[in-house]
Copies of this chain bind each other. A is one copy, B any other.
Amino acid sequence: MSSLVIVKMIKMTNLVVKKIDLEIEKPLAVINSKTLDELKIKHSARIKIKNESYELMCEVVSSSDLVPPNSVGLKGLDIESLHVIEGQKVNIFIRRRPASLEYVKNKRTGSVWNDSQIRTIVNDITVGNYTELEIAMFTLAQYYLGLNMDEITTLTKYMAESGTTLDFDEPVYDKHSIGGVPGNKVSLIIVPTVAAAGLLIPKTSSRAITSPSGTADTMEVLCDVNFSADEILEIAPKTRGMLVWGGTLDLSPLDEIVIHKVEQPLGIDPHSQMLASIFSKKLSTGVDYLVLDIPTGEGTKMPTREDAISYAQESTELGRRLGLQVEAALSFGEQPLGRAIGPALEAREALEVIQGKGPTSVFEKSVELTGILFEMAGLSPPGQGGALASDYVLKGKTQAKMEEIIGVQGGDPNVKPEDVVVGEYTVDVEAPKDGYIVKISNVAVKKIANAAGTPRHKEAGVYLHKKTGEFCKKGDKFMTIYSNSEGRLTEALNLAHNLKPFFHEGMILKRIASGPRVES
């Protein structure tokens, strides 16, 4: 039946580009209704617009007025991405429904994708041959049915190959966290420590999507994080370490498409795609040795120990198949890491830890993960990497290297923790009574920080004065909220009162009254 709906990719005609004043995420092509009639294209159809080596899939919008006949109205961003200027002619093609969609459909009857099928699917999605719905069909096949390890391996490989790849002439080290825990600024300590030991660690990281701060957001408080592939290839071998944003590098483009078009709008994160996402970017950045941080426990992506162990096993197996040496480390993730949440507050705390003055939890997690890389590199005997890493921090080697990295990335190498600008408006949340803190909710802390302005406003965030296990007297400060807007500060405070992110031991969570007494 599907053969009926296949439309051949036919070159239709040339149309003149006109800029239109519309802003929406997906590309739209506004075409005069007369021109559409002549070309026998219906509104809402999909066309591909080509200009030399650039192309763009657009949805057709018909208008009798907005654009003259024989023109195509495009919004500014789409004109840029096609590398055209107004008045220039572009080629219009009618989209052909990609044949690889049949492979996706065959998942329904238990089909296993082979190498060439996966290559075709990845290519079709990467070059824009899939509509949003079709990308959803691919992603939801993974979500509902899963992929086996062979499929994940192949998918990972082609996802990496379809984007930029960085080739270094020596072994590359890396640390990756699957995320989910606010305040996880350990990369800012790990990277300079690993680099200080002479190992190459050109770390690419992401910006926050729903969390208060991604590693790239935090690092950007101290210096630039936008570097091209060529710049990274030139700088990293000299400094041995960098902390850059991966977003501009076009690493694993399929992953960006799937995240943006399907995973985020639907709020899903299919297991196989999550693995392929992480490892495709490791492959494309040339990583050989990887320590993988898997925060575990209630409120994390891996609520149970079993989930985390199974994920660790799959990750190490996937690494093995792809030629990476991977060691996974399960970490406690049931409360935020350290005390600072939000880009500026986290950058400040990371600098403190590097000076040996920050919270123990951040210090220990950082040196333990670094230690694993040291052991993989043979720099220390098994079980002693953490101590060696600790030495690097305490003897100032980490700090010296961090100053060098900040400098080479265009920041002030002499920046001190107290130089970091945080939100000018602050408010304290106090304990309503005496008690031990038995729990701090990751989700609640994230929401409060986001209400205060993170990740967009780097100065916003939350500072936790008390952590789980600590005693808190009535009137003691639980947390301070930072913002650069009074309005947002108030919103965040209201949220803190509603969400009650802290749990007191002995606190009554709910009172349930008995019904009226029944005479027996």
Contact = CB atoms under 8 A, between A and B. Distances in A.
Interface stretch (A20-28, A169-177, A313-321, A329-337): A20-28
Interface stretch (A55-63, A249-257, A382-390, A431-439): A55-63
Interface stretch (A191-199, A263-271, A281-289): A263-271
Nearest to A1: B267
A21 to B, nearest CB: 4
Interface string A443-483: 10011000000000000000000000000000000000000
A136 interface: yes
A133 B265 contact: yes
Nearest to A61: B24
Given A23-B62, A62-B23, A443 B30 contact: no
A427 interface: no
Size class of the contact patch on chain A? 35 or more
B4 A63 contact: no
A26 B108 CA distance: 29
Number of copies: 2
A4 B269 CA distance: 14
A209 to B, nearest CB: 10
A375 interface: no
B65 A21 contact: yes
Contacts of A25: 43-44
Interface stretch (A139-147, A238-246, A415-423): A139-147
A5 B137 CA distance: 22
Interface in A15-38: 21-26, 28, 30, 33
Interface string A373-414: 000000000000000000000000000000000000000000
B62 A24 contact: yes
Contacts of A133: 132-133, 136, 262, 265-266
A141 B137 CA distance: 10
A333 B1 CA distance: 14
Contact of A108 (B4, B30, B143, B443): B143
Contact of A22 (B4, B30, B97, B131): B30
A101 B3 CA distance: 32
Interface of A: 1-5, 21-26, 28, 30, 33, 43-44, 59-66, 97, 101, 105, 107-108, 131-134, 136-137, 140-141, 143-145, 210, 262, 265-268, 301, 443, 446-447
